Every structure is written in C-alpha cells, then in structure tokens.
C-alpha cells in the first residue's frame, strides 16, 4: 500500500496519540506511522532513571505494543517530505502519498554543538539524562562520586523540557546529601540566563533551595568545550544579551551533567514545511501548517513558543484532533477552530518525595490545575510527587498514547 488517509511522521508522545485516534475514527489501514524506533520511551521518567529511582525498563514499551493493530507501522525514518505533491519518502526508499499529514518527529539533542562532548559522554563522569542510552549512566556516575565537584549545565537555544536540566541537579544533590557525601562534593548549576529560573512565580522556591542546600548558581555562562581527559569544562562568559564577552572560564569536574541544545529532525528542517530555524511552521493556536492546510504538527518539532513537553503535546493533541476532524468534515473555520493556549507543565523534582508542579502557557501565563483545590503549586509538595511518579505515567500509557484526553484522569482539566 503506498497511500494513506492520515500519515503520521513519528510515533512518540504526540504521534501515537494522533495515530490511535484516527485509527479508531477511520478504521484499519487508513493510518500509517513512520518511525524507525523499536522502543517507545516515556521520557519524563528519564529524570527518575538518572536519579536511580526507576529503571530504564520502567520508562520503555515496545513501539509495536503502543500503536494499535489497525495502524500500519513503517519501521523507517522519513527522509524527504514533499508537501507540494503530498508525498513522503522513507530512508529505505518507499514513497507514500497522504491526504493529511501529521508531523510529530520531536527534536534531537545536538551533542556535537559542544566541542569534545561526543567523545566524553558516557566516560563515567560526563553524563546526560537527555537520552535513553545515557540516562542510566547518570546514576552510575552519581554512585561513584565520593568527593569533588559536580557540575550541571544548561545550554543557550532550544531545549526539550528545560526543567529536566534543573531536576537532575536538585535530585543529585539530594542523593549526595542522603548518602552523607555532601560535605565532600561541591554542587554547581551553570546557566546562560541571568537567573536560575525565568518564571517569577516559581523563582523564590528555587532560589531558596539553592541557598539552603548550598548549590552554587553560575549565571550568564555557557558550556562550549569538554576536555574529558583533564576533567575540565570550558565556558563562555555572556553579557546581558547572551553574547559571549570574549572571556572564558574553566572548571574542573568530577561529574558533569550536560543538557544539550536540541534541533529538529533533518527531514523537517530540510523541507518546505520548516520555518527559518528548521522547526515545523504551524499556526500557534490551530496547529495547522501556515502554508499547507492538509498538514498539522504536534509536539517538540513545532515552532510553538512554549516549553517542549509531553504535557504540552497532550494539550495540543486535543486541539489538533478537533481541527483535523473538522477539516475532514469540511467545517474547519478560523473563528470556530479549537485553539491551543500554549499550555505546558514541568514537574520540578526538587528532592526524592517532593515536586513543584509548574504549569503555564504562552507568554508565561500561569495555568495551574491544582490551585483550584487550594494547593499552592509554587511550593514543593508530596502530593505532586505522587502525581509525577504515579498518575502521569499511568495517564501517559493508558490514555495519551491511546488517543484519549490524558488530562481527564485528573478530572481537573480547565
Ligand atoms: P517524541 O516523543 O520524542 O517522539 C518523536 C518520535 O519521532 C520518536 O519516536 C522518533 O523516533 C521519531 N522520529 C524522529 N525523527 C524521525 C523521522 N525522520 N522519521 C520518522 N520518525 C522520526 N515532558 C513532560 O511533560 N514532563 C516532564 O517531566 C518531562 N521530562 C523530561 C525529561 C527528559 C530527560 C526528557 C528528555 C524529556 C522530558 N519531557 C518531559 C519532554 C517530553 O518527553 C517530550 O516533550 C515529548 O516526548 C515530545 O513528544 P513528541 O511526540 O513531540 O516527540
């Protein structure tokens, strides 16, 4: 078969939801997913994997079990998208036609944006939670760290779930403290920003944590090189606009956790669907492509000015579904279209047993679901820890990847 009513590129968080919904709606063999990955990862759990609180297995299901049986799963990467002829060519040379295209290819860490990082990653000291290959090694390195200096870095540019670069720092510090090693290990968080966190509502809690727990915050500083052999990290110092001042700073490390900048999949970036930065150019409210009406986008691949998270993809799914359903029915109108408000969330794990659940939309508008129950979401909470570790993974596997409203489990969705 070389043509499908709905073709979905990428079967991750967003793509699996879309595929499941349209398989139910349209029936067997109408929907195809192109994705080379045999495994489906619940990536929010990588933070707990890196902290030694879950195994990688807990975060993984075979892709073949996640996608419904009626969906054709083509185990290859999309190599070329020709939106003018409504076709996609796969890396293994198949050419597929579509009536509607949903792009859900996520984004990828760009490890080689830091000199020496690809060589040093996984050497026992240089780690990153941003990949299923390396997340388990974070905990291995943490277990081995008896003394010295642990450094956690954030990059300039786009990052998938930027909060994950924080959480690993707070959770690692908590581990070292609980194991009596804290007096012997200095902990440093390095960020290109002027402050540790952008959102004013949540900033005081993070500032209190860094002060009370003696975590050094180094602002306006950006990792450019890792010298694995010498255990040295080289940083550019930045001015207020984020431009390098020409000064550099070298820090010795015994553990270095790197949050890498992220880029879109080359197939998207090189296609006519991309904006100037290579991201999928969709309308930020309707999620419909700005130039090709039969193309929609969901998740990290999109040009949306909000945090790239699974929670965002869950909210986007409901909008995309309504608008694509309406387009198929011939009734999609700009004024009555469903609109995405930029909702995203980040459960900041501040220590084992505590989470501060940040929820916001476009322009940093706070959109908290639990505050209507009288819960102060600007504080660390045990209840939010239960939401993060129990409720959200269950909602992800049972609802989101199956094409249902993942937020309905909370019965709190606005
Ligand atoms: P993905 O789920 O990444 O799926 C993309 C899919 O596209 C993959 O299966 C990939 O194989 C496939 N693909 C790539 N290129 C191609 C191609 N050329 N052709 C075909 N297929 C392709 N989110 C939260 O909500 N809360 C959290 O606490 C949280 N913590 C996180 C912690 C870490 C360490 C990480 C790494 C992520 C975290 N996230 C969190 C972010 C969340 O996992 C992502 O935002 C979400 O999975 C994005 O969904 P997606 O469908 O856009 O991309």
pLDDT, mean of residues 14-25: 98
Closest Cα partner for 53 from 127, 143, 120, 114? 143
Determine whether the shortest distance from the Cβ of 358 to ligand 1 is under 6 A.
no
pLDDT, tens digit, 9 for 90 and up, residues 177-192:
999 999 999 999 999 9
Q: How far apart, in whole angstroms, are the C-alpha atoms of residue 112 and residue 224? A: 10
Q: What is the pLDDT of residue 372?
A: 85
Report the separation in Å between the CA atom of 117 and the middle of ligand 1, taken as the mean of its atom positions.
22
Given a cut of 60, is residue 414 above it in pLDDT?
no
Percent of the chain scoring above 70 in pLDDT: 99
pTM assigned to the model: 0.97
Please, which pLDDT band fits residue 195 given cuts at 50, 70 and 90? very high
Structural domains in the chain plus CATH codes:
3-106+265-343 (3.50.50.60), 111-256 (3.50.50.60)
Q: What is the pLDDT of residue 406?
A: 87
Mark 385-413 as b/e (b = at least 16 C-beta within 10 Å): bebbbeebbebbbebbbbbbbbbebeeee
Q: What is the pLDDT of residue 410?
A: 65
Which residues have C-beta within 8 Å of that of residue 212, sequence separation ≥ 6? Answer: none
Given a cut of 70, is residue 22 above it in pLDDT?
yes
Please, which pLDDT band fits residue 412 given cuts at 50, 70 and 90? low
CA distances to 48, 202, 215, 319 from 360, in Å: 23, 11, 26, 17
CB 350 within 8 Å of CB 170: yes
Q: How far apart, in whole angstroms, are the C-alpha atoms of residue 41 and residue 13? A: 8
Given a cut of 90, is residue 409 above it in pLDDT?
no
Written as six digits, the tokens of 259 are 């949050």
Given a cut of 80, is residue 309 above it in pLDDT?
yes
pLDDT, mean of residues 6-11: 98
Given a cut of 80, is residue 413 above it in pLDDT?
no
Q: How far apart, in whole angstroms, are the C-alpha atoms of residue 104 and residue 308? A: 12
CB 185 within 8 Å of CB 151: no
Given a cut of 70, is residue 23 above it in pLDDT?
yes
pLDDT, mean of residues 155-181: 96
Q: What is the pLDDT of residue 381?
A: 96
Helix (H) or strand (E) holding 145: none
CB 13 within 8 Å of CB 105: no
pLDDT, tens digit, 9 for 90 and up, residues 35-60:
999 999 999 999 999 999 999 999 99
Please confirm, yes or no, whether 346 is among the known catalytic residues. Answer: yes
DSSP helix/strand/coil, 12: coil
Q: What is the pLDDT of residue 408?
A: 76
Please count the other Cβ atoms lying within 10 Å of the Cβ belonging to residue 251: 18
Q: How far apart, in whole angstroms, are the C-alpha atoms of residue 142 and residue 137? A: 8
Given a cut of 80, is residue 105 above it in pLDDT?
yes
Q: Whose CA is nearest to atom 4 of ligand 1?
A: 12
Q: How far apart, in whole angstroms, are the C-alpha atoms of residue 312 and residue 20? A: 18
pLDDT, mean of residues 239-244: 95
Determine whether the shortest distance from the Cβ of 78 to ligand 1 is under 6 A.
yes
pLDDT, tens digit, 9 for 90 and up, residues 354-380:
999 999 999 999 999 998 889 999 999
DSSP helix/strand/coil, 268: helix
Report the separation in Å between the CA atom of 43 and the middle of ligand 1, taken as the mean of its atom positions.
7
Q: What is the DSSP letter of 393?
A: H
pLDDT, mean of residues 127-139: 98
Choice among 23, 107, 161, 302 that is catalytic: 161
Determine whether the shortest distance from the Cβ of 43 to ligand 1 is under 6 A.
yes
Q: What is the pLDDT of residue 411?
A: 59
Determine whether the shortest distance from the Cβ of 54 to ligand 1 is under 6 A.
no
Choice among 169, 301, 302, 346 that is catalytic: 346
Please confirm, yes or no, whether 161 is among the known catalytic residues. Answer: yes
ipTM, 2 dp: 0.99
Please, which pLDDT band fits residue 1 given cuts at 50, 70 and 90? confident
């Amino acid at each position: 078969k070389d043509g499908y009513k709905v073709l979905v590129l990428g079967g991750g968080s967003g793509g699996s939801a879309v595929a499941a919904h349209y398989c139910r709606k349209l029936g067997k063999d109408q929907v195809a997913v192109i994705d080379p990955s045999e495994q489906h990862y619940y990536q929010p759990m990588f933070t707990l994997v890196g902290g030694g609180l879950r195994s990688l297995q807990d975060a993984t299901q075979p892709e073949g079990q996640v996608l419904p049986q009626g969906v054709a799963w083509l185990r290859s990467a999309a190599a070329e998208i020709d939106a003018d002829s409504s076709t996609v060519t796969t890396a293994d040379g198949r050419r597929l036609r579509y009536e509607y295209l949903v792009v859900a290819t996520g984004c990828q860490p760009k490890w080689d944006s830091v000199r020496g990082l690809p060589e040093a990653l996984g050497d026992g000291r240089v780690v990153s939670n941003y990949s299923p290959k390396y997340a388990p090694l974070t905990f291995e390195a943490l277990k081995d760290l008896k003394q010295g200096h642990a450094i956690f870095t954030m990059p300039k540019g786009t990052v998938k779930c930027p909060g994950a670069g924080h959480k690993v720092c707070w959770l690692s510090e908590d581990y070292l403290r609980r194991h009596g090693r804290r007096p012997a290990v200095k902990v440093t968080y390095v960020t290109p920003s002027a402050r540790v966190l952008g959102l004013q509502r949540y900033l005081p809690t993070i500032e209190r944590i860094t002060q009370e727990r003696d975590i050094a915050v180094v602002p306006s500083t950006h990792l450019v090189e890792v010298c694995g052999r010498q255990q040295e990290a080289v940083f550019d110092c930045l001015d207020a606009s984020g431009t390098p001042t020409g000064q550099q700073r070298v820090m010795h490390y015994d553990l270095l956790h790197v949050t890498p900048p992220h880029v879109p999949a080359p197939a998207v970036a090189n296609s006519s669907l991309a904006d100037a930065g290579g991201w999928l150019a969709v309308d930020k409210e309707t999620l419909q492509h700005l130039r090709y009406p039969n193309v929609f986008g969901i998740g990290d691949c999109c040009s949306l000015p909000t945090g790239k998270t699974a929670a965002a993809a869950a909210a986007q799914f409901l909008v995309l579904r309504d608008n694509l359903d309406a387009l198929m029915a011939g009734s999609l109108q700009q004024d009555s279209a469903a609109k995405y408000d930029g909702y995203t969330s980040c459960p900041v794990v501040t220590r084992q047993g505590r989470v501060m659940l940040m929820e916001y939309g476009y322009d940093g508008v706070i959109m908290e679901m639990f505050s209507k129950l009288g819960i102060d979401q600007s504080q660390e909470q045990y209840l939010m820890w239960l939401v993060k570790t129990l409720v959200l993974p269950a909602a992800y596997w049972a609802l989101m990847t199956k094409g249902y409203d993942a937020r309905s489990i909370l019965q709190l969705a606005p």
